[in-house]
Structures are given as structure tokens and as C-alpha cells.
Amino acid sequence: MEAGTDSHYMQMALELAARARGRTSPNPLVGAVIVKEGQVIGKGFHAKAGGAHAEVVALMEAGEQARDATLYVTLEPCCHYGRTGPCTEAVIKAGIKRVVAAMTDPNPLVAGKGLEVLKKAGVEVKAGVLEQEAMHLNEAFIKYITTKRPFVILKSATSLDGKIATAGGESQWITGKAAREQGHWLRDRVDAILVGVNTILADDPSLTTRLPEGRGKDPVRIVVDSLARTPTAAKVLLQESAAHTMIATTEAAPVERRASLMAAGAEVLVVPGPGPRVDLVKLMELLGEKQITQILIEGGGKLNGSALAAGIVDKVVWFIAPKIIGGDSAPGAIRGDGVQALKDATQLYDVSVQCLEGDFAFTGYTSKRGERISLLE
């Protein structure tokens, strides 16, 4: 992008916003750049929920030079009081002459009102610069703030023939180091990781984030366990981690089992529904109420199949190793009844492919771009 153009500076703001991936929930990712006479005089991003907003950070850096400057921001400045004051007030007080926003805020408390406040104060306003890129960056926030349900990513790692383990149960490791590290980056960026109890019983995973040099944020660990069969000695309950473990169960789970899991440190969430399985749609509603905005499903075939059948999956990240395992009894990535007709198969849209040291990562969405954008209308 040509230096000095609106798109050029907005790209800078987007790159700043992305630095806080996985750290701002339930707030959006926002970056800001202040430019005056062709020079960047202030920049900032929203680093964490409860912290200063991107515009305020950039204004503090710019100081008195902000008067008559242009503010580039990836999301419309807020105009309501939350944990912090309205950014519109700070922008007007600083004497900013022009505001360029990538997109309007899908939050009903804002939704264009922030830009109107600025216009009425005499600030020149422009919106829609790199809008698609901004929406992609905040796809989870958009889903959450407009539906009150989390954005759900289904992640799987399989052989070329769709197997997640051999007939003998060996699953470590089908994909290589680069693909596994990519999976941990996904964990680092979401609020929670969701697995089924069978994964706990079979593999006893830690479900923590393990990135080079000890980096990474642990997501909340959620186990879908209709009868509360998770062992109290399971690794998910014994982690020294800032994130806790939730057991999503049903009324059919024995009371004493629920009590023992709570005594072991788990948060037990009884999901209403007819049973016998945990109602995944209801679970998403409950998790949304807890301000969990983005979930990564790393389940076995049963949970993966149930999640797709329930229609809760927004995005799929599928790692494929160029290996053929074979075997009728080797488990596949998607179980359940499946579909009877091809027209009912889950179609992925906006698919991208990445090569990871011999493995491949396919990323796609379960709805068309236009349907995802319609959440803003």
C-alpha cells in the first residue's frame, strides 16, 4: 500500500490491533494510528479488557500534537461508559480534525452512534477503509456481540484418509511439529477449549498452551460429560494454570459425582435439556452468558459430529498429514449419523490452504461471507 494513503495507515492500525490476539475478550481487537502532516505521531492498541482503549493510548503518545491530526482506528470509537470512558470524548477534547474508521461497531450500544457524535462535534468522519480486513480480525467479537453466543472453531488433525488414530488407538503424532505448534497458537487465541469426556478417558490430555519459550495463554478447559465420568485425577483438573476447568453435564449426572468434581476444583455446569447428551446449543448460550466469546473444539469424532449436527460450528481448521492409516476400526474425525444426501453435507466457504512442513492446514467457514456480514445489519 502506498505510504500516506488512508489504506496504508489503516493497515498499520490493523497490525497493531492484532498484537493483542487472545487477550482482549470480551472486548474487540482495536488498533489506532494518529497522523499529522504525513508523520505518525501516536499509535496504540487495546491490550486487555479493562485497559485503556487504542484511541486513548495513541492520543497519550501524540500529546498536544494531536490537535488537527487524523486518527485512524480499526473500529468506530465508543460513545458509552463501560469500564472506561467514551473514546469519542477523548478524541474531541484532543482536537482531532479527522477520524477514519475501518468499520462501525456491531455493539448495539454504539452501532454508528460514535461516528455521529464525532460528526456533530465538527470532526470529519470516514468509514469503511479496509472494512473486510477489520471484520475478519474481529470475527469472534462480531458473532458474540450480535448473538450473545461464542464463535466456535472446530479443529481436527487427521491422516489423508480422515483417521484421528490407528486401529490400535495410537494418535501421537499424526501431524508434525509445525502443525502441532499452529494448534497451540489457536489455543492461545481463544477463551476456551472444548473436548468430550471420551477424549479425557482415552488420552488424559492437559489441554494447556505450550508455545516456544514457555509462551502462551491457557484457555478455559471445558469437558462435555453428560454423566460426570471425568476422573478427579484427570490432568485437566490438576493443572497449575490461570485458567480453570468446567465440566458441562446434565441432570442425569449423579449428584455425588458432581460434588466430587467440584471438590477437585472444577466448575460444574448443569446444562438444561431433554438428554441424554449435553445440549450443545444450550451450552453455547450458557457460555456466552459467562462472556466466553471464542471456543476451540478439539474433540474426538463423536463430539465433532454432534457439534456439526447442532449447527454451532462457525469455522473449521483441519490439519491433514500425507499419511494413509486405513482400517475399518481406526476412528475417524466425524462420527454420528452423518447425512443421507450430499446436498446436506457441511460446505466450507472462503477456504484457504497452508503448507506446514509437509502437512496441510485447511481453513474455512460454515457460512458464506455475506451471511457472516449480515450480522452487522
306 is in an annotated binding site: yes
Query: Are residues 294 and 190 in contact, defined by beta-carbon separation less than 8 angstroms?
Result: yes
Distances from the Cα of 333 to the Cα of 6, 178, 325, angstroms: 45, 20, 13
171 is in an annotated binding site: yes
185 is in an annotated binding site: no
Paired residues of 152 in beta bridges: 295
87 is in an annotated binding site: yes
**Nearest 5 degrees, angle CA 204-CA 208-CA 210?**
120
301 is in an annotated binding site: yes
258 is in an annotated binding site: no
209 is in an annotated binding site: no
Q: Could you give the CA distance from residue 101 to residue 14 in angstroms, rounded to a whole number?
A: 11
Q: Could you give the CA distance from residue 77 to residue 237 in angstroms, rounded to a whole number?
A: 41
Buried b (16+ CB within 10 A) or exposed e, 225-255: bbbbbbeeebbbbebebebebbbbbbeebee
Question: What are phi and psi for residue 319, nearest 5 degrees?
Answer: -90, 130
Nearest residue to 347 (alpha-carbon basis) of 329, 372, 365: 365
Q: Could you give the CA distance from residue 209 to residue 197 in angstroms, rounded to a whole number?
A: 19
To the nearest 10°, the Cα dihedral for 373, 20, 80, 78? -60
Contacts of 286 (CB under 8 A, 6+ apart): 269, 271
32 is in an annotated binding site: no
304 is in an annotated binding site: yes
Annotated active-site positions, please? 55
298 is in an annotated binding site: yes
187 is in an annotated binding site: yes
300 is in an annotated binding site: yes
332 is in an annotated binding site: no
Q: Which residues are annotated as a binding site for substrate?
A: 171, 187, 203, 207, 210, 298
Q: Which residues are annotated as a binding site?
A: 53, 78, 87, 157, 171, 173, 187, 199, 203, 207, 210, 226, 298, 300-306
Q: Which residues are annotated as a binding site for NADP(+)?
A: 157, 173, 199, 226, 300-306
Q: Which residues are annotated as a binding site for Zn(2+)?
A: 53, 78, 87
